[in-house]
A and B are shown apart, each in its own frame.
Chain A
Amino acid sequence: MITFKIDGKEIKTEEGKTILEAARENDIYIPTLCYHENLLPIGSCRLCIVEIEGYDKPMASCTTTAVEGISVTTQSDKLFAMRQQYLKLLLINHPLECPHCDSGGECRLQDLAFEHRIERVDLEAEREPKTVKPYATAMIRYAEDRCVLCLRCVHACREVSGRKVLELAGTGIEAAMKPTSPEDCISCGECLFMCPVGALTEQESPQKSRKWQTKRQTTTCPHCGFGCSLNLDVYQDRFITKVVTNPSLAPNKGSLCVMGRFGYDFANNEAQLAAPTVKQGTEAAGATLAEAVEATASALAKLDKEGKTIGFIVSPRATNEEAYMVTQIARAFSKTAFGTAGYYHTGIVLDTMRRMGIPYPYEYEALKKCDLIVVAGADLLGNNHLLANKVREAVKTAGAKVAVVDPSPVNLTRISDAWVKVAPGSDAAFFNGIAAQLIADKKNDPDAGSIEGLAGGKADAAAASGADEKSVDKFYKLLSGASSVAVIFGTGISESAGSLEALLNLCIVKGVHKTGAVMPTALQSNAVGTLAFLPDAVSPSDVLSKADGLFIYEDDPFHYLAGRDVGEALKNKAFLAVCDMFATDTSAYAHVVVPTGSFARKEGSCIAEDGYVRRVGRGEGKASPGFEFLRMLLDRLGGGLYKDEAEASTVVFEKDFIVTDELGRASLKPVSGTAKAAPVRAGAGTSRKPFTLVLKNVFFHHHLAGKAVYTKMAYLQNPAIAGDKLFISREDAEALGVADGGQVVLESDHGKVQCPATIKEDLKKGVLEYRMLKNRQDILNLTDGYAKHISVTVKKG
């Protein structure tokens, strides 16, 4: 700690903090425009200048580190005059169009000009008229003349998102921001969030409302498992005008991805279901909620009486409260089965971790304490983009090294210090070899114990995984030398039990669970929560085959299972009730269909992939019709009448598997006990056919139903992140004689599909990648269940 003075007041702060940081900690105001706490200090606006006793020149407080004993002055006539002058300079060429600027009322420049009592500017600085340049993507507008060149956007793009879209071009007065490589843009909107004025604004919602006309509601992003905090601006209690974020809210501190920032508009979509329908004969007819409740209750009760199994499939995006209500409803029946799509990845992962005694929940902030971050089988682009941002932050502020284990280039390969391209399915062999080598070199955690069946070394790891030996050496050097390691992993690993156990074994051998963090990702916002609340949840495909009567809550198995099989199963159900926001392929089979509301209409909680509870806050309207349905159905079945979601929440938070820590944060109850490695599984499988098709299941929420898309998100057209595209390695394309964009035919044991293939640089040979968006079924029909890796043959089409 050091002690110094600001404006005569004695301040204590940590060594290494800047004067501005210390001032902010102590609520001392220093005007700023370019400074942002998520970025490295930029130092461009010069408004945060302060005077320090004994030094000639004012210094920028954002870039000057505090030193013991100095005396700082933040307000003086000289400083005021300088700041005022700099603001006047900015205003020379800045249009005074605040009344129709998107940021009017929420603009740093407006505030600062007011604060510095600027009434007019009598200076001139001629500037070439700038032609209006469209911004990199259709999501974001750039009003060049409003730009103050604070450079926050440029820094945000580079530092936070790891892209290189924007640069400052030109010098002197002609300097301007320029999208130098627009093709690199992923529309994450980080630049827009950072813009202190109205230069970068959202294309979707210009002037739908003024700031003071909307209600701002904090909630949790529904799109992936990370659990970002965001604010909805809601107009007239029924229309979301935009998503804004707050840098002080954990865990994302204002950052979002394209889905979180721009994917809200499905909630406004008029195609959403308005009223329940009940099938009479073969025709669905409009019904009241009470009629839907009655039809569902009596049909299910009848099946129950006949000794039939009632299956419940709950979306991993439903809230804990909704999942809880479903379990209460199920208590009315004697034979039940629960399924949720979160089972396929998160369910298996958490079960395995529990079995092996690996600590969970974990904290994202642990990344900053690790000197190595391993990212295995996790794309971190479609889902968990924010986790990649966190990794970049750890690299920037704590010097962490990054190692990627993945056959495809992923979000973090650019900054990785080692990238091991293991063949899909060979991860187990790779991790086993590395673990064996650590033990052989005595670089293992001494408490790890031995692992049954572990043999070989890093040479075997390279040979068995088809990875380049040099990359394996680099990986091993980083891992063996690291003192604390974080391991992030995703669906590429959970695809096989052998891979998952092998990775967790390696974590135990290295002591990752003790000195660092084992960090599984989740695909959906409440995968963890629904699994915690549904007793003995299994996979939806199991429930589909087992149950005679089905109750599906906000889920559409056609999204992730082969439609052939789902259709076959649904066709023969004695009863099917579906509660969803839009008509889906599943709802077409339903006897009862009840609308539900978007995330913006929900109140309650969910559990993110880190195991911590997040709050879901209602932005618009009253209770979601989906919850109303659950509430009334439960009452009808004799389970009692809950007043509202809040009442359900009370029960939810009383569950013994939810605990609250000393900071008041609720989470799943931590796993206790000592970690124990699993025996090595025999015959780690590699692909039986020459190619492996890797599925990346990204970008979906309620805004996709069947092949309909209920969002205007222009990102769907962005080639950098586009969905429904098959990628092939250059080597394979050349060997097959397929040109970039040429047709290929994929054939698996279960089906065949023809589609164009795009060449992806750096993709491993023998691997194809498909990002599912709308045309899911074409690809899913290549499987007979849920799969991320599909063994296929490839021919030129």
Chain B
Amino acid sequence: MADVIFSSWQGEITDNRGKARESFEAPKVKLPGEFENGLPVKAFMGWDGIILCDENVDIIDMSVKYAEAVQKESCGRCIPCRIGSKVILGTLQGIADGKGKKEDLDKIRTIAAQIKDGSKCQIGQTGFVPLLQAMEFFGTEFDRSVAEGRKAKPGDYRISVTAPCMSVCPSQLDIPAYVEAISEGRMTESLKKVREAACMAGTLGRVCVRPCESNCRRANIDEAISIKSLKRFVADWEIDKDVKRDIVPKIDKSKKVAVIGAGPAGLSCAYYLARMGYPVTVFEKLGEPGGMAAVGIPDYRLPRTVLDVEGKFVESFGVTMKYGVELGRDITLDQIRKDFDAVFIGVGAHTSQPMGVNGEDAGYRGFIAGVKYLLDINNGKDPYPEGKRVVVVGGGNVAMDCVRSSFRIGKPDVHLVYRRTKKEMPADPVEIREAEEEGVEFHYLCNPSRILEKDGKVVGVECIRMELGEPDASGRRRPVPVPNSEFVIETDILIPAIGQAIDWSFLEKKEDFAITKWNTFLVDQETFATNIPGIFSAGDCETGPDVLVRACGNGKRAAWKIDEYLRGEKPKARESEKYVKFFGELKVYDKNENVGFLGDHPRMKLRHMAPEVRKWTFEEFEEGFRTDEAITEASRCLRCYRIGMIAVG
């Protein structure tokens, strides 16, 4: 952390000017000390104010450069921002050149306030907040410049644009841009915008855990924008309206890349490499694209046709897909390394973690791991057709998929056992609610202690009651068994779904690879490079079981590094990635901000099939937005783009 000399961030004024360092007051805001190795953060100017850590930064020069960025980022739509920011910029430049006049200062103040108060979006609304603060708190500098005709001292700055929603998106989707396009009826452009940042618009539009929506400023007024469903809308639009894509594959590089696994990470990596011109071959053991999204997410949430479209979309960039080819069975890694210049491994985490209960490896009929159960169902198979009662153990999304899929293959009696309470459940709250609506019986604060079997068949599960103790490493309170509280749930099928793990059987020599203590690939966190040169990895096999959107994002970032590697450069983080980290630490979204706008317009919600109908069918249970609904919903977006500028020299 840097020592802060002055801060007006989020309305909190910290003024250490003229004080000795040891008596500095520290503001609440935490500003990273370095932008990158060796490049100190001397000051930060942004949507919420100014943070100054080095008194040598020229506040007037900084203001000019920031105004320049505002004028450049101004989308040109609204008058105050488009023209007003240019008037301010011109006047400020005059001051910085030592040609300022006294009345310029008032002129700037007036126009800046009018831009802030009347602009259409946050570029204009926040673009002159730091300038107005600079003029308020560093007024003497401005007065002196004008009075003495002093020229400003040029500095070195890094500028980036973000938005609260964007800043937390692991795939860095330009959310305000694609939402705005929908509000203007530019659906195809919107989809194009999504696809600049991710290749699985239809999938993310259905199953993303949407960190964006919990960082949406609209929630400060009424409710967050339905960002996820809007993405689905534009992806569906292309299919429904049969929109022709104008994609011409341009494979103009000679170095070849192999991608292992056509899941979100693999597809994403292949997509970006192909767009950069590399010939890419994807090896996928399943007969279809999607990986865990295909076999782990049931059709009622994510129809296979959607993944199919996305696989074909990636293929249309010139990627060669080899489905049904399993590494370790049909081809070896050594062979691939011989034939390709770089390898990306994104095999996911397709096996399940043990519960640690006696008998779980005894092969009882009726005992099946969650991911295996979902895989069977997705292949159109009911592993135990005779069983009608189901108990699923776990509280994550896979557990939810297992219970809800059970109804859909005709099991009327479905239970879920979770050792903590509903509050701690990691599954998406929406999914929990939908499972409740469909009639799943939830048993909280209990855990399996024994499998009951008869003649090699599961007949029940003995559980023990739990209570919550001290928080564990994850911050959640640790469940502790209550002695002598055992009870039995009779069941035909018992499904542990308490976490996934990597199935390493695809590697002949796992020992060649550095592995983390969580039994995942150890990679350089900036470059996704494994310990073996030319082999990169991302997705669940690197992070451990994680969300789809992160696998997409990391697959993309790995593609960038593979490109650098193949061009003979040393892979390193891009400036945009540094900004993601920087903004992540600074926190772009402030849930306490008073936005000051009238709202009271709840978000549009998708129409659902009634629980009693949907629970028996794999048909997609949600219906996408109609055109008018999508436009209305997208129009709620406040377009919270913000400009961040770091003084580094």
A383-421 CB contacts (< 8 Å) to partner B:
395-400, 414-417, 419
Q: CB distance B79 to A399 under 8 Å?
A: no
From B82, B85, B117, A82 is in contact (CB under 8 Å) with B117
Q: Decide if A398 touches B628 in the complex (CB within 8 Å).
A: yes
Q: Is B197 an interface residue (CB 8 A)?
A: no
The contact of B111 among A85, A171, A172, by CB within 8 Å, is A85
Contact in complex: A416, B241 (CB < 8 Å) = yes
What residue in chain B is nearest A470 (Cβ atoms)? B242
Contact A396 B185 (CB under 8 A): yes
Other-chain contact of B86, A70, A172, A176, A400 (Cβ < 8 Å) = A172
* CB of B46 within 8 Å of the partner chain: no
Residues of B within 8 A of A713 (CB): none
User: Cβ of B183 < 8 Å from any Cβ of A?
Assistant: yes
Measured between C-beta atoms, what is the minimum distance from B115 to chain A in Å?
9
The answer for the CA separation of A375 and B576 in the assembled complex, in Å, is: 48
Nearest B residue to A168, CB-CB? B76
- When distances are taken between beta carbons in the complex, the residues of chain A under 8 Å from B627 are 395-396, 399-400
The residue of chain A having its C-beta at the shortest distance from the C-beta of B76 within the complex is A175
Cα–Cα distance between A85 and B80 once the two chains are bound (Å): 8
Do the beta carbons of B71 and A172 come within 8 Å of each other? Answer: yes
Find chain A residues with CB under 8 A from B596 CB.
55-57
Q: B83 at interface (Cβ–Cβ under 8 A)?
A: yes
B118 at the interface (CB under 8 A from A): yes
Contact B631 A40 (CB under 8 A): yes
B118→A82 contact, CB < 8 A: yes
A46 and B83 in contact (CB under 8 A), knowing A56-B594, A67-B600, A173-B71?
Answer: no
| A57-80 interface with B by 8 A CB criterion | 57-60, 63-65, 67, 70
- Measured in the bound complex, the distance between the Cα atoms of B84 and A66 in whole Å is 29
B275 contacts partner chain A, Cβ-Cβ < 8 Å: no
Whether A684 is near chain B, meaning CB under 8 Å from some CB there, is no
Q: A46-B80, A395-B627 are in contact. Are A172 and B118 (CB under 8 A)?
A: no
Tell me whether B86 and A125 are in contact (CB under 8 A).
yes
Q: Does A86 contact B (CB under 8 A)?
A: yes
Q: Is B601 an interface residue (CB 8 A)?
A: yes
State which of B72, B76, B85, B119 has its C-beta within 8 Å of the C-beta of A149: B76
Within the complex, the shortest CB–CB distance from B506 to chain A, in Å, comes to: 37
A7 to B114, CA, bound (A): 22
Interface assignment of A549: CB less than 8 Å from any CB of chain B? no
Q: Roughly how many angstroms separate A168 CA and B76 CA in the complex, as a whole number? A: 8
A-contacting residues, B274-332, CB 8 Å: none
B-chain residues with CB within 8 Å of residue A398 when the two chains form the complex? 628
Is B573 an interface position by the 8 A CB rule?
A: no
- Given A92-B83, A126-B86, A126-B90 in contact, is the A46-B119 Cβ separation under 8 Å? yes
Establish whether residues A55 and B76, one from each chain, have CB atoms under 8 Å apart when the complex forms: no
In the complex, whether A158 has a CB less than 8 A from a CB of chain B is yes
B626 is an interface residue with CB less than 8 A from chain A? yes
Residues 142-172 of A at the B interface (beta carbon under 8 Å): 148-149, 151, 155, 158-159, 168, 170-172
Is A65 within 8 A of B118, CB to CB?
A: no
Contact across chains for B79 and A89 when beta carbons are under 8 A apart: yes
Q: How far apart are A124's CB and chain B's nearest CB, in angstroms?
A: 6
Q: Does A428 contact B (CB under 8 A)?
A: no
Residues of B within 8 A of A126 (CB): 86, 90
Taking a contact as CB atoms closer than 8 A, the residue among B72, B77, B86, B598 that contacts A67 in the complex is: B598
Q: Are B118's CB and A49's CB within 8 A?
A: yes
Asked if B78 is at the interface (CB within 8 A of a chain A CB), the reply is yes
- A44-B79, A57-B596, A416-B241 are known contacts. Are A125 and B186 too (CB-CB below 8 A)? no
Structural contact, A158 and B185, CB atoms closer than 8 A: yes
| B635 at the binding interface (Cβ < 8 Å) | yes
Say yes or no: is B87 at the interface (Cβ < 8 Å to chain A).
yes
* A-contact 0/1 string along B97-131, CB 8 Å cutoff: 00000000000001100100111100001000000
Known A-B contacts A40-B185, A46-B119, A59-B597; the reply to A125 vs B114 at CB < 8 A is no
A89 in contact with B80 (CB, 8 Å): yes
**Shortest Cβ gap from A157 to chain B (Å):** 11
Is B74 part of the binding interface, using a Cβ–Cβ cutoff of 8 Å? Answer: yes
* B76–A399 CB distance below 8 A: no
1/0 per position for A486-518, CB-CB distance to B under 8 A? 000000000000000000000000000000000
Q: Are B87 and A123 in contact (CB under 8 A)?
A: yes
State whether A92 touches B80 (Cβ < 8 A): no
Interface residue B569 (Cβ < 8 Å from any Cβ of A)? no
A67 — which chain B residues lie within 8 A by C-beta?
598-600
Q: Which residues from B are CB-within-8-Å of A395?
A: 627-628
With A172-B85, A396-B185 known as contacts, the answer to whether A44 contacts B90 (CB < 8 A) is: no
A795 CB to nearest chain B CB (Å): 31
Asked whether B629 is an interface residue with its Cβ less than 8 Å from the other chain, the reply is yes
Q: Are A60 and B85 in contact (CB under 8 A)?
A: no
* Residues of chain A lying within 8 A (CB to CB) of residue B241: 414-417
Q: In the complex, are the beta carbons of B629 and A82 less than 8 A apart?
A: no
Is B629 a contact partner of A86 (Cβ separation < 8 A)? no
Partner of A399, one of B74, B90, B629: B629
Check: B341 CB closer than 8 A to any chain A CB.
no
Q: Which residues of A contact B631 (CB under 8 A)?
A: 40, 396
A52 at the interface (CB under 8 A from B): yes
- Contact assessment for A89 and B598 in the assembled complex, using a CB-CB cutoff below 8 Å: no
Nearest to A85 among chain B residues (CB) is B114
Which residues in A have their C-beta under 8 angstroms from that of B86?
A: 125-127, 172-173
A155 touches B79 (CB 8 A): no
B90 and A172 contact, CB distance less than 8 A: no
CB neighbours (8 Å) of A81 from chain B are 114
The answer to the question of B75 belonging to the interface, with a C-beta cut-off of 8 Å to chain A, is yes
Q: Which of B82, B90, B186, B635 touches A175 (beta carbons < 8 Å)?
A: B82
Interface check B453, CB cutoff 8 A: no
Does A721 reach chain B (CB closer than 8 Å)? no
- Least CB distance from B94 to A in Å reads 10
Min CB distance, A528 to chain B, in Å?
Answer: 32
CB distance from A294 to the nearest CB of B (A): 62
Chain A residue at minimal CB-CB distance from B74: A172
Given that A67-B600, A396-B628, A415-B241 are known contacts, is A46 also in contact with B118, CB under 8 Å in the complex?
Answer: yes
**CB–CB A125/B83 < 8 A:** yes
A749 to chain B, nearest CB (A): 36
Contacting B at CB under 8 A, from A186-244, are none
Of A46, A399, A419, which one neighbours B78 at CB under 8 angstroms? A46
Assess whether B73 is interfacial by the CB under 8 Å rule: yes
A85: chain B residues at CB < 8 Å are: 80, 84, 110-111, 114
Question: A9-66: which residues lie under 8 A (CB-CB) from chain B?
Answer: 40-46, 49, 52, 55-60, 63-65
Name the residue on A nearest B125 (C-beta): A57
> Cβ of A90 < 8 Å from any Cβ of B?
yes
- Interface contact B184-A171, CB-CB below 8 Å: no
A345 to chain B, nearest CB (A): 29
Residue pair A90, B597 in contact (C-beta under 8 Å): no
- For A170, the chain B residues whose CB sits under 8 A away are 76
Interface digits, A113-145 against B, CB 8 Å rule (1 contact, 0 not)?
Answer: 000000000011111000000000000000000
Which of the residues B78, B87, B110, B242 comes within 8 Å of A44, measured between beta carbons? B78
Q: Is the CB of A55 within 8 A of B598?
A: yes
The A-contacting residues of B in range 618-649, CB under 8 angstroms, are: 626-629, 631, 635
B240 within 8 A of partner (CB): yes
What are 27 A-B pairs with beta-carbon distances under 8 A?
Answer: A40-B184, A40-B185, A41-B635, A42-B77, A43-B77, A44-B79, A45-B78, A52-B598, A57-B117, A57-B118, A60-B120, A82-B114, A82-B118, A85-B114, A86-B80, A86-B118, A125-B86, A158-B184, A170-B76, A171-B72, A171-B73, A171-B75, A172-B76, A175-B74, A176-B76, A395-B628, A417-B241
**Sample of 12 more A-B contacts, CB < 8 Å, known A149-B76, A399-B629:** A44-B78, A46-B119, A55-B596, A64-B598, A67-B600, A85-B84, A89-B80, A90-B83, A172-B71, A173-B82, A175-B74, A175-B82
A contact residues vs B (CB 8 Å cutoff): 40-46, 49, 52, 55-60, 63-65, 67, 70, 81-82, 85-86, 89-90, 92-93, 123-127, 148-149, 151, 155, 158-159, 168, 170-176, 395-400, 414-417, 419
Shortest Cβ-Cβ A-B pairs, 5 listed:
A175-B76, A399-B626, A56-B596, A399-B628, A89-B83
